[in-house]
Structure 1
Amino acid sequence: MYIDELTVEGFRAFNQPFRVKLNKGLTVIVGGNGAGKTGVIGALRQLFIDSEAGRYAVDDQDFHLGFAVGDVRAPGFKVSATFSDLDMVEKLAFLSWEDVDHNTKLHLHVENREYRGRPKRSLWAGKAKSAVEPDVLDLIRCIYLPPLRDAEDKLSNGSRSRLAKLLKVICKRDLLKHEDDGTDHPLVAKVKEFNKELAESDDYEIKKANALISGSLKEAIGESLAQGTRIQFSESDFSRIVESLRLLYFPDLSAVDASQFRSLNENSLGYNNLIYIASILAELHLESKLRGQDNGLFHLLLIEEPEAHLHPQLQTRLLKYLSETAQKTGVQVIVTTHSTVLASAVPMNAIVHMTAGTQPVVTRLAECGLPNKSERFVNRWLDVTKSNLLFARGLVFVEGIAEAILLPELAKIVLKAQPAGKQTLHDLGVSPINLNGIYFKHFMQLFCNIDPAAAGANIPVRCAGLTDLDPAKTETVNIGGKDEVVNVKPYPGNLRKGTNHALELIPEITKSTHARLFVGLYKTFEYDLAMEGGNITPMAKVMHDAWETDGKNKQRLAELCDPKTDWAASKLAEKADAAFELLELIENGDMGKGLFAQLLADAVADGTAVLVVPGYITDAIKWSCKL
């Protein structure tokens, strides 16, 4: 069984009824700050007794309060969980939680309402609102790991020792067996034997010290009032023994002497965090194999920000291990994260996206209607850079490295009239995403229904696509009665039809609420940039200053960037010739698009190059920034 759906109303950010579908196995909840990720975890904790932190303590902040003038806190909140995929053992154990459709789903509900100045909690199950018996609720084991974990404290010895809990689970059956036949567990027997030897042997001076204490006590308060004493290493009760054990570490898996192990307070925070999580996964793995009243039937692990203190490679390995553990053991794992590394480490179908708003909006990527081909494509390409699309407030998809480098600087030009704090893409939380090709169909399906036959949910975040018109590079024309192949150099009044297959997507994308695809007017990104205003001068100047070899190319660049030439007022055909020359030098010279874009971005940033932004780029920036 697993929690298939969670419904929340009146709790924290969730004023109106809020529903989120969860996965069997692993669910990774992503989104920006304030999107409601922690609220989902907090709502789940309302339903169960957490074996690590105990029952969730309700306070005033858990009752929803809006931000409008005159808003008051909700008088109560409700949380409901729907369980699906039950086996026969689970159906029988949770019989009183049945839905009306008989054993296919279970429902568990909790409600908190203010009563005489404090929250009053009600817990019931099923459509008939059956009372929830504690023994039945105990069959659900929930462990919650907060974002700021003190792993060293949890792993230290004592009554709440994580190590002691694990050992008690491992030895549970043996302990019951020895309890039934009246014998000691081997560990208890060994400690008793050792303590007896310490107390009775003359070799350790323990016997002499005990006699001195007893003698002094008898002299101080007299024979009739004195108490007996015994010096030993540990109590001879199994729980006390394992609670006194300490976990040590060595930095690798080498076979070393016991003296080389060190205390955990000498270990890194990240590795202690991993050891802590590993001990919990080991316990859940054991309990899921030993299903029953003592070990539970359903196991739920809630982790906020598992990336804490971990470098990227460890983050990736940890999440993949969590995914494998969930699949193998039946433990349901729900993770919230801000880490692009973690978001890229799991299949997109495991990801649930949350968007902040007056009422948070949830989108399961599995429900975005991506065809299998697109799903495989996005999974392969959802690396650390592109997984930013799951955290940004707005997106601009671009075809290549040049657009990705230059776009932030061009955006500053477009946004310079905006109020302070809203004059860059960074200020507005908008991320350029380099697709390294014309792959808008695959990625934008997350935000709009490009294929009506595969219509699904959409992430409610503004996204713009920037693409080139890409007309044919050459064409055949008749010159003096003879057909000749010439280069295509478009300009106003001399435009050509585009060959870019992404253009076919525009009609469907334009129907959507969140997505738009913006197309250059002439040819490619650099050509269209050169055709705008007097941009040829600063573009040619940047190339000229960086050109390493003297010769006809550098001489031509010097002519193109001559300040006496007013390219903004030049004839369009001449301007198109110059734009074509620049594009040829960028693509086929020693510079390349990436280096040229970097140099031009630096020149724009330091004010030595002043550009006019093409209209389609301006429109894309304004769309993604909600202007």
Structure 2
Amino acid sequence: MHLSRVKVSGLRASAETPMSCDLPGRFSVLIGPNGAGKTTLTDALYLAHPGSRFPVLPRPTSAVLASPDAGVERSIDIAYTLADDLDAEGRLGREIHTTAHRRLGHEAEAWSVSLQRQLGTVTSRLTSSHGLTRKIDQFKLIYLPAWRHPLDELARREARILVELLRARQQELYGSRNLVALRARASQLLEDLAKDSLIDAVEARIGEQLGRLTAGVSPQWPYVRGQVIDDTYLARVLEIMLAVIEGRSAARPLEVSGLGYVNLLHIAVTLAAIPDSTEVPLTPPNPSESVDHDALSEEEQARQAFENLAQAQAEAASEEDSFFSTAPFHATVIIEEPEAHLHPQLQHSLVRYLRRTVKARPELQVILTSHASDIITACDPTELVVVRRTDHGSISRCVKDVVPAQHRDATLRKARLHLDASRSSGSLRRAPAPSGKGSNRGRLWVA
């Protein structure tokens, strides 16, 4: 299953005339000149997934909407299509095919949202939310815009994506997304820190001053203790670091790491935070559960029941707070300009890795937008979508849809050879070397 079609009107490049885009599969690259409408399509995809998008980005300004007197409907239409083969489907696709009786190769789910102004910003609302909100929550969208800040997402502020990664790994290992064990260790560390003599001295100093201020009214006693330990605390105190050599001691803050590698790290963490579509593993058997309840005293049975209830409540809270739940889902990852700060070889390697990842994980779909020739030439021609501006507005076409039926296979084969040749010629090319005034211009081979 993949996000197969988006139609948008009244937003950015579609403010005058509607534009639509058909995506060829679970991996696609939008290419085209500046101002053609690529960002219009990606913004529309983000707005069309209310309640199931990550991260929470600032709302666009209402200036991107068509004026009310333009006579253009401000809406976005979304459609998902099942794969032709059931073996290529993930858990959600199989569930839709089995329970909803949707045919393979046909539409799996579709909905529309309307775009409205709200306090100078744009908000999106489902045109028909009856029984649809719960369904579309299973269609997740992760958007890495061109103006993203990997340092903020991974280190400086609350690293929410890191918490989602911890939950995904916890679910993969133990079948539970609850991080209560990790929070308990953090709580114990803070409690041990609060017992330091310096902390006691600070408490006494503050208490002396506060006691003089409140003695005649209502005495108050200040204490220095750790914060409330929850997942938000973990996101606030943990950060990701990079090392140029293996070893935790060699890790350095991201501020002093290469920008290209920080960009790759951001993409890697985002993909790793998406749980695999394999069946949720069973929780390892608890030895206390295998004990015969008849051998336990009433007090022990009551304590065990209380612990089970607390564990169930913590698991329910974690499930509600998580972006990904244990239910089946389909995740679409949109990355604008993934080539930022990357060497051409890394650009080519990134595309190859994303293509392999999408092929191995049926619940995952990746959409790229790029101007880089090394990104484009690393793709198959059937994965490219050309977006361009015409006198009648922005249009988009899949390369595989514009190839004539006659000699189609031969034409696509020649296109693949052309992309391979372009990529090879780019690895060894001549570039003008800087020279002093009045000297002959030299030539430099760049590998």
- TM-score normalised over the length of structure 1: 0.51
Match for 1:13: what amino acid?
A: A
Question: 1:366 aligns to what?
Answer: 400
CA distance in 1, matches of 2:19, 2:56: 26
Structure 1 pair 11/380, CA: closer, same or farther in 2 (3 Å)? same
Structure 1 SS opposite 2:95? helix
Q: Which of 345, 350, 359 is 1:313 aligned to?
A: 345
CA distance in 2, matches of 1:115, 1:149: 24
Q: How does 1:452-471 map to 2 (within 5 A)?
A: none
Alpha-carbon offset, residue 327 of structure 1? 1.7
Structure 1 pair 34/188, CA: closer, same or farther in 2 (3 Å)? closer
Q: Which of 183, 194, 199 is 1:199 aligned to?
A: 194
CA distance in 1, matches of 2:105, 2:344: 46
CA distance in 2, matches of 1:77, 1:387: 45
Alpha-carbon offset, residue 142 of structure 1? 0.7
CA distance in 2, matches of 1:100, 1:317: 36
Question: 2:169 aligns to what?
Answer: 170
Question: 1:142 aligns to what?
Answer: 141
Match for 2:7: what amino acid?
A: T
Structure 2 SS opposite 1:196? helix
Q: Which of 103, 121, 126 is 1:123 aligned to?
A: 126
Is the Cα–Cα contact under 8 Å of residues 90 and 297 in structure 1 kept in the other structure?
A: no
Residues 404-441 of structure 1 show CA distances to partners (whole Å, capped at 9, x for unaligned) of xxxxxxxxxxxxxxxxxxxxxxxxxxxxxxxxxxxxxx
Question: 2:12 aligns to what?
Answer: 12
Is the Cα–Cα contact under 8 Å of residues 166 and 283 in structure 1 kept in the other structure?
A: yes
CA distance in 1, matches of 2:397, 2:176: 50
Structure 1 SS opposite 2:33? coil
- TM-score normalised over the length of structure 2: 0.70
Question: 1:81 aligns to what?
Answer: 78
Q: How does 1:40-59 map to 2 (within 5 A)?
A: 40-49=41-50, 50-54=53-57, 57=60, 59=62
Unaligned runs of 5+ in 1: 66-71, 389-597, 599-627
CA distance in 2, matches of 1:178, 1:10: 40
Question: 2:31 aligns to what?
Answer: 30
Q: How does 1:205-244 map to 2 (within 5 A)?
A: 205-222=198-215, 224-232=218-226, 235-244=228-237
Q: Which has the larger radius of gyration?
A: 1
Is the Cα–Cα contact under 8 Å of residues 340 and 387 in structure 1 kept in the other structure?
A: no
Structure 1 pair 52/114, CA: closer, same or farther in 2 (3 Å)? closer
Is the Cα–Cα contact under 8 Å of residues 46 and 56 in structure 1 kept in the other structure?
A: no
Residues 472-517 of structure 1 show CA distances to partners (whole Å, capped at 9, x for unaligned) of xxxxxxxxxxxxxxxxxxxxxxxxxxxxxxxxxxxxxxxxxxxxxx
Is the Cα–Cα contact under 8 Å of residues 62 and 117 in structure 2 kept in the other structure?
A: no
Residues 171-203 of structure 1 show CA distances to partners (whole Å, capped at 9, x for unaligned) of 468999697xxxx8332222233333333355x
Structure 1 pair 325/176, CA: closer, same or farther in 2 (3 Å)? closer
The number of aligned residues is 366
Q: Which of 414, 421, 443 is 1:377 aligned to?
A: 414
Structure 2 SS opposite 1:194? helix
Is the Cα–Cα contact under 8 Å of residues 348 and 365 in structure 1 kept in the other structure?
A: yes
CA distance in 2, matches of 1:88, 1:173: 20
CA distance in 2, matches of 1:344, 1:102: 28
Match for 1:378: what amino acid?
A: A
Structure 2 SS opposite 1:193? helix
Is the Cα–Cα contact under 8 Å of residues 52 and 143 in structure 1 kept in the other structure?
A: yes
Match for 1:332: what amino acid?
A: Q
Match for 1:371: what amino acid?
A: R
Structure 1 pair 135/287, CA: closer, same or farther in 2 (3 Å)? farther
Structure 2 SS opposite 1:29? strand
In the alignment, does 2:389 pair up with 1:352? no
- The CA RMSD measured in Å over matched residues stands at 3.8
Structure 1 pair 384/81, CA: closer, same or farther in 2 (3 Å)? farther
Question: 2:96 aligns to what?
Answer: 90
Is the Cα–Cα contact under 8 Å of residues 99 and 105 in structure 1 kept in the other structure?
A: yes
Unaligned runs of 5+ in 2: 84-92, 281-323, 426-442
Question: 1:274 aligns to what?
Answer: 264
Residues 432-467 of structure 1 show CA distances to partners (whole Å, capped at 9, x for unaligned) of xxxxxxxxxxxxxxxxxxxxxxxxxxxxxxxxxxxx
Is the Cα–Cα contact under 8 Å of residues 162 and 273 in structure 2 kept in the other structure?
A: no
Alpha-carbon offset, residue 51 of structure 1? 1.3
CA distance in 1, matches of 2:47, 2:417: 37
Match for 1:153: what amino acid?
A: D
Question: 1:514 aligns to what?
Answer: none
Structure 2 SS opposite 1:80? strand
Alpha-carbon offset, residue 64 of structure 1? 7.8
Match for 1:372: what amino acid?
A: D
Q: How does 1:417-436 map to 2 (within 5 A)?
A: none
Is the Cα–Cα contact under 8 Å of residues 235 and 241 in structure 1 kept in the other structure?
A: no
CA distance in 1, matches of 2:264, 2:408: 37
Question: 1:105 aligns to what?
Answer: 108
Alpha-carbon offset, residue 265 of structure 1? 0.9
